[in-house]
A and B are shown apart, each in its own frame.
Chain A
């Protein structure tokens, strides 16, 4: 049997980070069969994080972020072609050009796309952007290089905050609107969101919280926006940073457990069908997946993290070419980073899976700290600000289910290291933007009729 799994036909749907790393890993694992990678964008796999940082700052161009390959995956690349369906019984991936690709095993890594501004005619105004693709990055960088009078960023999540940071670094005026009480509150909770708000204002961002944008104005070109508090913002560029939508629509009739929160899979990256029965020839990796994690109550996690795409793709590839007893679980602890306003924010674990936090090292005043998150007396996450070297220590505490608040572990332990305060994580529905980490539980996405 193992020999058979190293042969046959594998189709990877999705040609970004997870798709590329899976293709490479399949060859490293000894897969010698035919490998096809399908991508709807007409580009070789490229890296997205620089698009909201180096590319906006003009330090790199959007055309130069192709991902280096660790090895040639010897794949047939079908780029610029969208997958439109999956026939589980016939074992075929259907493409928009009418062709269908037969497979023995398939990996779904179709990722997410930017949530557009909901009013189509307003979204179509010249100067209104989202930021996800290479074209988005190139277009926005070009506008920023022309030094607009003011940029309006809708949504104070990570992407919105990084765009605002780039604007200020370029000397461009920027207004950020956030429906919640502060930027980053959905990902990091109340305390660090206050630091994020201070950093934005200290850097000259016109930050408006507790408001929504009710209309985008313009006649052909964007000229400004109306806010829910009755005020208006005059600006010539607008970026809707409203979070992401999972690319699952093409699976609507497939019979897989695919919905707005992603495609449910087991710890081995095998997709569930809509009856909750695990498949053994359909695998999922990257942003489009939701998978159970034992450290977080076996809730299904959806992570929009670079590192998760890499690690889950490698586990999926391993499991695609190895028999059951040799398969591996995807148990990596989530890690995330963001660089903004001169601060390096890194997160390990799931900060939203928390009830209390404690500042274990450093302080808010110093703009350098390690905050530890706990849930029911157990360490579940940590976030460092300019203290990345401490992150591995806290990862170890999370992996070993250490007691919260954590015991003394660092020489620069904060005075208040035993004073826990509520983590103050809001309901995601009060935010402008979707969360980059979602605890999606085991809720079915739709009612089922068993046939």
Chain B
């Protein structure tokens, strides 16, 4: 699973940091850093974090497989 956070929207509520500390981390008071590749054992936590985000800034998706022709 891949994740990207729309940091334009993120306001540092940090709900994701509490729900999936292995993936989301605060850098200082409110700067969010995250693991772009979600470890398998963290996927449920990350889904919860995406659902709980007050500004709905977390986008999840499967790894894309696009073959270059």
Contact = CB atoms under 8 A, between A and B. Distances in A.
Interface string B1-29: 01110111011100000000000010111
A429 interface: no
A411 to B, nearest CB: 17
Chain A interface size range: 35 or more
A339 B63 CA distance: 26
A60 B35 contact: yes
Given A69-B61, A79-B68, A342 B8 contact: no
Given A53-B33, A59-B33, A386-B30, A68 B68 contact: no
A49 interface: yes
Interface string A388-409: 1101100000000000000000
B12 A60 contact: no
Contacts of B59: 68, 70
B31 A76 contact: no
Contacts of B10: 337, 388
Given A54-B33, A77-B68, A342-B28, A68 B7 contact: no
A59 B28 contact: no
Interface in A252-301: none
A339 B68 contact: no
B61 to A, nearest CB: 2
Contact of B12 (A65, A305, A340, A389): A389
A44 B10 CA distance: 25
Contacts of A28: none
A343 B26 CA distance: 10
A47 interface: yes
A253 B32 CA distance: 43
Contacts of B40: none
A335 B25 CA distance: 22
A67 to B, nearest CB: 6
Interface in A174-216: none
A12 interface: no
A69 B28 CA distance: 30
A386 B36 contact: no
A307 B64 contact: no
Query: Chain B binding site: helix, strand, loop or mixed by DSSP?
Result: loop
A306 B59 CA distance: 14
A344 interface: yes
Contacts of B29: 342-344, 368, 386
A337 B27 CA distance: 13
A223 to B, nearest CB: 32
A171 interface: no
A350 interface: no
A80 interface: yes
A117 to B, nearest CB: 28
Residue with the highest number of chain B CB atoms closer than 10 Å, among A64, A65, A76, A388: A388
A344 B64 contact: no
A64 B2 contact: yes
Given A77-B67, A78-B69, A307 B6 contact: yes
A307 B34 CA distance: 18
A70 B8 contact: no
Interface string B27-66: 1111111111100000000000000000000011111111
A337 B7 contact: yes
29 contacts: A44-B64, A47-B4, A49-B7, A53-B27, A57-B33, A60-B35, A60-B37, A64-B35, A64-B36, A66-B36, A66-B64, A68-B4, A68-B62, A68-B64, A69-B64, A77-B67, A339-B28, A339-B32, A342-B27, A342-B28, A342-B29, A342-B31, A343-B29, A344-B28, A344-B31, A368-B29, A386-B30, A389-B11, A391-B11
Given A53-B33, A68-B4, 17 more contacts: A44-B65, A44-B66, A45-B64, A54-B33, A54-B34, A57-B33, A59-B25, A60-B35, A67-B64, A68-B62, A306-B7, A306-B8, A310-B8, A339-B33, A342-B31, A343-B31, A344-B31
Closest 8 pairs (CB-CB, A-B): A68-B61, A342-B28, A339-B31, A307-B8, A64-B37, A344-B31, A79-B68, A44-B66
